[in-house]
């Protein structure tokens, strides 16, 4: 059982980690990284007046699958008087908040407010998707920093009924059938492979994978486990210093991004 003031977060390429750390610093709260939680660790206790926060990226206009599985096991004991979610997304969150609300309600947790930050794009797994150009990346980060400071005031004051999010067009369609297709067909490590002539066996890809889906890496070419754990977060792809990881043919000549990456 954990006793602490709590922010649960997930992050692959670092956008959400950046936001979660600022939030935790300003609120004096503790961060819990969801991939580090095992089934046995899902029972938490809150003191009266403590906030419960979820800081998450949007995956396919929905909460990431691994986060949804974590919530299925989550038990919060004590009084919860304020729960919020802060999303990061490349452009729109669709009905991710409504889906999270439903998942939390099944655990007896009410979600009071939702916020979203538009951050640099991490998804490159479809032919028409690539990372943002550098100017757009910088502009998104600058705006996100301003918005985050505004959101923190609401969260600090436990403002209820706030929905400062960007849902985008036809949110029910994107979070519904399109999101369903995304989960069924596009969350997979099957297309990942390494271009041997570019791989220097540094091990970075395996180190950064949030779910340990990569065997080898250091001293040995990486191999993906194909065991259903991959989140298609592309963190391995983005961190490879030699762009040696490809996703089928869909990432050829595409850019790489992670929060804090220095542009060459």
Ligand X SMILES: Cc1cc2nc3c(=O)[nH]c(=O)nc-3n(C[C@H](O)[C@H](O)[C@H](O)COP(=O)(O)O)c2cc1C
Which residue, 17 or 51, is less far from ligand X as judged by CB? 17
Q: Using the rule CB under 6 A, is 234 a contact of ligand X?
A: yes
57 in contact with ligand X (CB under 6 A): yes
Task: Choose from ligand X, ligand SF4, none: what does 123 bind? Cβ within 5-8 Å by kind.
Answer: ligand X
Minimum gap (Å) between residue 190 Cβ and ligand SF4:
11
Structure tokens at 1: 């059982």
* Residues contacting 197, CB < 8 A, separation 6+: none
Residue 143's H or E segment, with its range, is: helix 134-156
Q: Which stretch binds ligand X (CB under 6 A): 37-45, 146-154, 228-236, 240-248?
A: 228-236
- Specify the 3-state DSSP secondary structure of 89: strand
* CA 170 – CA 94 distance, rounded (Å): 8
Taking CB under 6 A as the binding criterion, the range among 89-97, 130-138, 153-161, 242-250 that sits at the site for ligand X is 89-97
Q: Which residues contact 158 (CB under 8 A, 6 or more apart)?
A: 51, 81, 82, 112
Instruction: Assess 66 for contact with ligand SF4 (CB under 6 A).
Output: no
**Contact pattern for ligand X over residues 92 through 131, marking x by CB under 6 A:** x--------------------------xxxxx--------
Residues 9-38 that bind ligand X (CB under 6 A): 11-17
Give the residue, chosen from 16, 97, 233, 259, that forms a contact with ligand SF4 under the rule CB under 6 A.
233
Query: What is the distance between the alpha carbons of residues 209 and 183, in angstroms, rounded to a whole number?
Result: 19
Q: Are 231 and 59 in contact (CB under 8 A)?
A: yes
Distance between CA 68 and CA 66 in Å, rounded?
Answer: 5
What CA–CA distances, in Å, run from 232 to 41, 46, 73, 225, 243? 24, 33, 22, 13, 16
Structural tokens at position 144: 């996100």
Site string for ligand SF4, 12-51 (x = CB under 6 A): x---------------------------------------
CB 47 within 8 A of CB 82: no
- State whether residue 214 is helix, strand or coil: strand
Residue 83 contacts which entry, ligand X, ligand SF4, none (Cβ below 5-8 A, type-dependent): none
How far apart are alpha carbons 69 and 26 in whole angstroms?
29
Q: Which of residues 155-214 bind ligand SF4 (CB under 6 A)?
A: 189, 194, 199-205, 209-211, 213-214
| Contact pick of 25, 47, 79, 91 for ligand X (by CB under 6 A) | 91
Per CB under 6 A, residues contacting ligand SF4 are: 12, 189, 194, 199-205, 209-211, 213-214, 217, 222, 224, 230-236, 240, 242, 244-245
Per CB under 6 A, residues contacting ligand X are: 11-17, 57-61, 88-92, 119-123, 232-234, 259
């Amino acid at each position: 059982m954990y006793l602490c003031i709590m922010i649960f977060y997930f992050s692959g390429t670092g956008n959400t980690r950046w936001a979660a750390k600022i939030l935790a610093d300003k609120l004096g709260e503790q961060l819990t990284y969801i991939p580090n939680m095992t089934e046995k660790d899902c029972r938490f206790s809150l003191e009266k007046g403590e906030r419960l926060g979820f800081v998450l990226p949007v995956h396919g206009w929905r909460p990431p699958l691994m986060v949804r599985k974590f919530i299925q096991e989550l038990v919060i004991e004590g009084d919860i008087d304020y729960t919020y979610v802060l999303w990061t997304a490349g452009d729109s969150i669709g009905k991710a908040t409504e889906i999270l609300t439903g998942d939390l309600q099944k655990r007896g947790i009410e979600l009071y407010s939702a916020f979203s930050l538009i951050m640099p794009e991490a998804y490159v797994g479809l032919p028409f998707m690539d990372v943002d150009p550098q100017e757009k990346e910088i502009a998104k980060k600058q705006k996100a920093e301003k918005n985050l400071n505004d959101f923190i005031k609401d969260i600090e004051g436990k403002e209820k009924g706030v929905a400062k999010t960007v849902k985008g067009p036809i949110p029910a369609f994107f979070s519904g059938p399109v999101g369903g297709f995304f989960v069924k067909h596009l969350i997979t490590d099957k297309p990942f492979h390494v271009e041997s002539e570019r791989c220097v066996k540094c091990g970075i890809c395996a180190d950064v994978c949030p779910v340990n889906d990569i065997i080898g890496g250091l001293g040995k070419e990486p191999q993906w486990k194909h065991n259903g754990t991959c989140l298609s977060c592309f963190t391995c792809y983005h961190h490879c210093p030699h762009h040696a990881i490809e996703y089928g043919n869909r990432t050829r000549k595409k850019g790489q991004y992670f929060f804090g990456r220095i542009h060459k």
